[in-house]
């Protein structure tokens, strides 16, 4: 399938995990990839592997985000897909009783404000084109809460869900679709970091997954590819759960 032939996809957090797998998947389906990440060597590597380009940027930096979309349109003429995916895991002890204001603010900044910024600067280009697909990475915890307290993270992802819903409704008649993608636990460096601090947390979480395993990044990438493609032409403002059945159990 070449669903993205002639299309340009900007992917944040493309250097690792879900972003990296999605860059490879969309490139395999014909997309031109603009990889965005803080990590320069990982970003350059994925750009080389996909034959696209890499822009080193911090997604919490407004000027840098604006420049990402401006440079993409300058180089390739359009931005058809924006996968706003960069994010960080919660602080080690992320209970409402213990999470400090700085840690709270940092998580909102990277996980939620970044999505606001990416949408804000992708949308004007998409409106001009009269089409576009935005996929924002939320998490299953925004729908059902986490068994292990992670208040700043869960709240940031709840914000991503609400923002996506509102934009999906607002821009539907302009040919722009905006969806939230909510993965369950996925085998990526982010998850490994979370479990390294508390190894029993992995076992506790696994109990809640009907499949009895975590997702691989490629399984999430397949869902992003669907949502970003014309196959999802009647899907907008949705919370697309790819959680191995956690929220249904």
Q: Which of 8, 11, 19, 167 binds ligand NAI (CB under 6 A)?
A: 19
Nearer to ligand NAI by Cβ, of 120 and 127: the residue is 120
Q: Which of 13, 90, 159, 244 binds ligand NAI (CB under 6 A)?
A: 13
Near ligand NAI by CB under 6 A, which window of 7-15, 72-80, 123-131, 168-176? 7-15
Q: Find, among 24, 29, 72, the residue nearest to 47 by Cα.
A: 24
Which residues lie closer than 8 Å to 164 by C-beta, 6 or more apart? 115, 134, 136, 138, 178, 179, 180, 237, 239
Q: Which of 32, 99, 139, 164 binds ligand NAI (CB under 6 A)?
A: 139
The question of whether 153 is a catalytic residue gets the answer yes
Alpha-carbon distance of 139 to 233, in angstroms, equals 22
Asked if 35 contacts 46 with a C-beta cutoff of 8 angstroms, the reply is yes
Structure tokens at 131: 């089409």
Near ligand NAI by CB under 6 A, which window of 32-40, 116-124, 170-178, 223-231? 32-40
Using CB under 6 A as the binding rule, the residues of this chain from 167 to 226 that contact ligand NAI are: 183, 185-186, 188-191
Distances (CA, A) of 61 to 31, 56, 154, 215: 26, 11, 22, 31
Minimum Å gap between C-beta 161 and ligand NAI is 12
Alpha-carbon distance of 113 to 104, in angstroms, equals 12
Near ligand NAI by CB under 6 A, which window of 9-17, 170-178, 205-213, 230-238? 9-17
Q: Is 34 in the site for ligand NAI (CB under 6 A)?
A: no
Q: Give the count of beta carbons closer than 10 Å to the beta carbon of residue 168.
A: 20
Interface contacts to ligand NAI, rule CB under 6 A: 12-13, 15-19, 37-39, 42, 58-60, 85-88, 110-111, 137, 139, 183, 185-186, 188-191
Q: Which residues are catalytic?
A: 153
């Amino acid at each position: 399938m070449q669903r993205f032939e002639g299309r340009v996809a900007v992917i944040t957090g493309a250097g690792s995990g879900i972003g990296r797998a999605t860059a490879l998947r969309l490139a395999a389906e014909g997309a031109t990839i603009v990889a965005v990440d803080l990590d320069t060597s990982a970003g350059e590597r994925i750009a080389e592997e996909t034959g696209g380009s890499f822009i080193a940027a911090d997604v919490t930096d407004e000027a840098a985000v604006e420049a990402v979309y401006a440079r993409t349109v300058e180089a390739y003429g359009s931005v058809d897909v924006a996968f706003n995916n960069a994010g960080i895991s919660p602080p080690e002890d992320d209970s409402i009783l213990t999470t400090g204001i700085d840690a709270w603010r940092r998580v909102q900044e990277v996980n939620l404000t970044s999505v606001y910024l990416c949408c804000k600067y992708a949308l004007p280009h998409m409106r001009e084109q009269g089409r576009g697909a935005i996929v924002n990475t939320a998490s299953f915890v925004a729908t059902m809460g986490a068994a292990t307290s992670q208040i700043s993270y869960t709240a940031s992802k709840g914000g991503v869900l609400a923002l996506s819903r509102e934009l999906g409704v607002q821009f539907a008649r302009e040919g722009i679709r905006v969806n939230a993608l909510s993965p369950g636990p996925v085998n990526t460096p982010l998850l490994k970091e979370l479990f390294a601090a508390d190894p029993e947390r992995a076992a506790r979480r696994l109990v809640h997954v009907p499949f009895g395993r975590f997702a691989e990044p490629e399984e999430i990438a397949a869902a992003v590819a669907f949502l970003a493609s014309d196959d999802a032409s009647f899907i907008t403002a949705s919370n697309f759960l790819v959680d191995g059945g956690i929220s249904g159990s």
